[in-house]
Each structure stands twice: as C-alpha cells, then as structure tokens.
Amino acid sequence: MFWRHNRQDDSPPIEFFEDAHARVKHERYSLTEPTPPQRKRRRRLSRKQTDSLLGLLLVAPLVLWLTAAILYPLFSAIRLSFLDTGIIGTGGKFIGLENYQFILSSPDFWKALGRSLVWVVGNAVVQTLAAFAAALILMQSFPGQGVARIWVILSWIIPTVVVVIIWRWLLGTSGGIVNYLLVSLGILDSPVGFFSTARSAFASVVFINSWRWFPLMTVILLAAMQGIPQELYEAAAVDGATSSKKFTNITLPALQPVLFVLGLVGTLWSINVFDIIWLTTGGGPSSATMTLPVFIYDMAFKGYRLSRAAAASVVMGMLLLVFVYLFNRFMSPPPETD
C-alpha cells in the first residue's frame, strides 16, 4: 500500500502522457515531404476542332495537288513569255517584252480575238435558247418524262471525238443525212458544203458545240425551276396572268442567280474551247474558225514560236480577268431581301 502510494505519487500525471502522444502524432503527420512537380496537363481538343482538323488533313493533299497543277504551269508560261524559245525542250535567252509587243501588234491576234467574241456570243445565244426550251418542256407532265430527263444529258456525256465524227458524217457533202433530207424535201437543189465556206463553217461549229453543251445548262435550269414555289404560279393564275407573264415576272427573276453563274462560267468555258474546233475544221477554212485557243496552239506547235504563244496565252488570261471583274461589277444579281 505504501509502495503503491509512493509509486502513484512519483509517476507523472496522465496529462503528461496525453500531451506527449499528441506532440509525437503532430510531428509525424505535420512534417510532409515536398510533392514532386506536377506535369502540365495537355489541353484536349473539342469534337468540333477535331473534325475541322481531320477535314483539313483530308483536303490538304488535293489542295496541294491543284495548287501545283495550276500555279506551276501559270508561272512557267509567264516565265516562258519573256524568252525566245521556239521548240519545247530548247532553251532561250531573255528578251523582255518583245513577245508581248509582237502579239499586241499582230493583226492575226486581234482577228482571232474578234472571232472568239463572236464565238462566245453565238454559243451563249444558241445554248441559252435551247436550254430554256428543253427545260420548259421537261417541266411539263407527259408520258415518258423521266426517260426524257435522263436522255437529254446524253449528248453531254458523249466524248468530244465521237461528237465530231457523228456531226461530220451527218453534215457531209456526199452521203450526209442532213444534205440528203434537205435535197429530198426540195429545200435545196444540191448538197451544201457546211464546212466549205467561212460563214457556214463557223455557224456549223457553233451549232455542234452548242449541241454538245446545252444539255448541261438544261439540267441546271431544270433544277432551278423546280425550286421555284408553285404558289407563285397559282397566285399569278388567279390574277389572270398569261404564260408569258409568268415567265417574265416569276421564272426569270427567280433564275437570276443561276443565270449569272451560267453566264460567267459558260463564257469562260466557251472561249477556251479548242477540241471541237480543231477536230472539225482545224481553224479553217482560211482561218475562219481560228479562235484564240486555236491561234495559240497553231503558233506554238505549227509555227514553232513557243514563247510568243505563251505571251498570247498570258494576254488572253489577263483579258479574261478583266471580263470576270466587269461581269461581277455590272451583271451581279441584287442581294436578296427578306
């Protein structure tokens, strides 16, 4: 009892052990080691950004290819126009603007330019009238309408060489079906040489090229006409409008944007046509069908003046740029209003 009493008196109080335990626990858990530096988290792209990047990667090869296919020939032609190269594969010395002076002072160049303008206007008139007529007919309901809409595109998908062979045979002086029918019906006394005289050759080539290309314009106009609301025609019919009034007041205004694009693109296509003219008449007779593309080809590969032909092509390209600017400036349809 005495020992116990003394032991209890000499032992430290219970609060001492509690304080010591708390200090040890605090020292053990309060001293933390320095945390390692955290890595910078990468910013993840959103779904829209990922799709845009994928689209750019898929389109990039085609864009690079088209850029190379367009820019390289363009700069090569510009560079060649300042040299005196005659044949492909041969070198030439720098002569400055002599080729341009020769081209701009050449009467043959300006005559070819004039024929090209007549060619473009003739094709525009024939193709537009034929396309409008075909589109208006195909808009009507009749038996076989679906078949007719498919077959109208046939002349456009036929290769150009086949088109030329067919029409040279049809318009031939001896054995041509057109001459045979005209003589048989008493319209002509004797067969006509469609490619023999200057005027008939030019008109024949314009007709062949228009026959080749008007189906494409027909399909485009037909698609645009089908997009015009039928309520407009019904309201016009209630007001007593005739078919001509409907066409001038509803159809033509609605087709202005389409006609603008067709006028611009069709002009650029027409003035660059080479294959049909070359395969049909070769630019003859007596240069009657020698437009600018045929003139440039003849100068480069038959006259062996490659640099002069390059200068002529550059001048032609500059004239087309001026045309595109003026066409957009004065022929652009007015903006749509709500």
CA dihedral sign of residues 283, 287, 293, 296: positive
**121-136 pLDDT per residue, tens:** 999 999 999 999 999 8
Average pLDDT over residues 164-168: 94
pLDDT band at 31 (very low <50, low <70, confident <90, very high): very low
Question: Residue 191 has which token pair?
Answer: 């067969």
3-state SS string over 271-312? HCCCHHHHHHCCCCCCCCCCCHHHHHHHHHHCCCCHHHHHHH
Q: How confident is the model at residue 20 (pLDDT cuts 50, 70, 90)?
A: low
The pLDDT of residue 30 is 47
Say what the pLDDT of residue 310 is.
Answer: 95
Mean pLDDT lowest among 59-63, 67-71, 219-223, 314-318: 67-71
Q: Which tens digit of pLDDT belongs to each residue from 290-321?
A: 999 999 999 999 999 999 999 999 999 999 99
Alpha helices in 45-106 (DSSP H): 47-80, 98-104
**Residue 209 · residue 123 · CB < 8 Å:** yes
Rounded distance between C-alpha atoms, residue 152 and residue 143, angstroms: 15
Segment among 31-40, 173-182, 199-208, 269-278 with least mean pLDDT: 31-40
The DSSP code sequence of 22-37 is HHHHHHHHH--PPPPP
- pLDDT for position 82: 95
Residues 270-288, mean pLDDT to the nearest whole number? 93
Amino acid identity of residue 188, one-letter, is L
pLDDT in tens, 233-259: 889 889 888 888 888 899 999 999 999
- Cβ within 8 Å of residue 253, ≥6 positions away: none
Average pLDDT, integer, range 172-179: 88
Is the pLDDT at 334 greater than 90? The verdict is: no
What pLDDT is recorded for position 243? 84
Average pLDDT over residues 95-112: 95
- Give pLDDT, residue 66: 87
Place of tokens 């046939």: 154
Closest of 261, 279, 51, 307 to residue 160, by C-alpha? 279
Number of continuous H segments (helices) and E segments (strands) in the chain: 17, 0
Predicted pLDDT at 5: 43
> CA 209, CA 220: separation in Å to the nearest integer?
18
Q: Which CATH number fits domain 107-330: 1.10.287.3510, 1.10.3720.10, 3.30.70.1350, 3.40.50.2020?
A: 1.10.3720.10
**Angle between helices 160-170 and 177-184 in degrees, nearest 10:** 30
Task: Kindly report the backbone phi and psi dihedral angles of residue 94, in degrees, each rounded to the nearest multiple of 5, phi listed first.
Answer: -75, 125
Four-CA torsion 66, 70, 72, 74, nearest 10 degrees: -170
Closest CA to 205 of 295, 283, 117: 283
